Amino acid sequence: MKNKEKVTIYDISKKLNISAATVSRALNNNPKISEKTRKLVAKTAAEMNYKQNRLAQALKKGRTNNVGVIVPYINRSFFSSVIRGIEEELTPHGYHIIICQSHEEVANEAEQINALLNTQIDGIFMSVSKTTQTTEHIKKIQEEGTPLVFFDRKIDVPGVSSVVLDDFKAGYMATEHLINEGCSRIAHLSGDINLEIYKNRYDGYREALKKNNIDFNPSYVIQTSSKIESGMQAIDELWQLEDKPDAIFSAGDYAALGAIQELKNKNVKIPEDVCVVGFSNEPFTKYMELPITSMDQTPQMMGKIAAQVFLEQVQEDKTISIEKRVVLPPELFIRDSSNRKLIGLENAV
């Protein structure tokens, strides 16, 4: 069966015996066209089932109303929540979201950037991969004049806005909480400290120890990945030490979960013998049999603010060269995995 040919502005102009230019202007609400003609053209276009080429229109105006979001993984609650925040803020302004994953590989990240730029994207939101050490592929975005906003993970690029958590303060708060619970041998399951967020959490941990006159023990720092198995392996390594930790501060919730599982395998009581604090406040942390204390990163708010920063840069169809560095305050959700005071109260009853 032959496909039905698309109706064009030339078909409408032929039927109304007016120029195609007049039809085009009428469909785009040009003020030079009378209201009577605009209504007639709109009515005829609807009757003929005419559909405007929105992509062509967008390119003509220099806007596609599409933005790209590049994240390491989409299947993490944190990143999906950030994307939700971006979407909720931008949808009322007519924007659509294109989601890309780097899978923690800088080569994938560069490829995704090229693909987005080739689609004439209006802006890019990005959380860099853990293997991103150079900025050449990121500078391509600036060379194209495309607004870029980093969130959570960033790399220093002059002129680029960012919305991040105060990870130093978060690391300090988590460690200080453990100290307040009576812990003094605090181990840190760090992420890759080549990434700024993990370096800042580590620095906050070190500073809290220093301010509370607790000696730093390098044997208590184990680099882990964001996997349960990595947390379990870290506990195996720590438990080979003669002076074992009495607290664990993990830079991620999945490693914290693995640590708790392995501590239970070793018949270590939590929090009586060892307190555990995670990071990210993943949904599972509050639904565990032993709910896990965790640092919240306010991901949805982070996404909303990143979107607001972007909107400021594209006001009135003009890209404004601004740089904003927004730092969000962390919040610690204290639960059973580190709350010795709660255990003490229960024992006293």
Which one, of 265, 296, 261, lies nearest residue 278 by Cα?
A: 296
Neighbours of 314 (CB within 10 A): 17
Provide the pLDDT confidence category of residue 345 given band limits of 50, 70 and 90: very low
Half-sphere exposure of 219 (CA within 13 A, CB side): 12
Provide the pLDDT confidence category of residue 7 given band limits of 50, 70 and 90: confident
Average pLDDT for the chain:
90
The answer to whether the peptide bond before residue 158 is cis (omega within 30 degrees of 0) is no
Provide the pLDDT confidence category of residue 196 given band limits of 50, 70 and 90: very high
Local structure of residue 92 (DSSP, 8 states): G
Average pLDDT over residues 132-144: 88
SS3 332: strand
φ and ψ at residue 100, rounded to 5 degrees: -125, 150
Rounded Cα distance, 171 and 165, in Å: 11
Rounded Cα distance, 256 and 234, in Å: 10
Q: What is the pLDDT of residue 19?
A: 87
Residue 4 clears pLDDT 90, i.e. is over it: no
Quick one: fold of 64-165+299-328? Rossmann fold (3.40.50)
Rounded Cα distance, 319 and 165, in Å: 26
Alpha-carbon dihedral 94, 70, 163, 323, rounded to 10 degrees: -80
What CATH number does domain 167-297+333-348 carry, 3.40.50.150, 2.40.50.140, 3.40.50.460, 3.40.50.2300? 3.40.50.2300
Which one, of 330, 322, 300, 343, lies nearest residue 77 by Cα?
A: 300
Q: What is the pLDDT of residue 2?
A: 42
Residue 60 clears pLDDT 70, i.e. is over it: no
205-256 pLDDT, tens digit per residue, is 999 999 999 999 999 999 999 899 999 999 999 999 999 999 999 999 999 9
* Pairing, β 275-280 against β 186-190: unpaired
Asked if domains 64-165+299-328 and 167-297+333-348 share a fold, the reply is yes
Residue 349 clears pLDDT 50, i.e. is over it: no
Q: What is the pLDDT of residue 219?
A: 97
Q: What is the pLDDT of residue 8?
A: 84
Residue 123 clears pLDDT 60, i.e. is over it: yes
Domain boundaries, the chain: 9-52, 64-165+299-328, 167-297+333-348
Q: What is the pLDDT of residue 29?
A: 76
Contact by Cβ (8 Å): 223, 193:
yes
Residue 18 tokens read as 């007016």
Average pLDDT over residues 192-208: 95
CA–chain centroid gap for 164, Å, is 9
User: Which top CATH class is 9-52?
Assistant: mainly alpha
Contact by Cβ (8 Å): 291, 285:
yes
Q: What is the pLDDT of residue 135?
A: 86
Half-sphere exposure of 180 (CA within 13 A, CB side): 13
Burial 25-41 (b: 16+ CB within 10 A, else e): bbbeeeeebeeebbebb
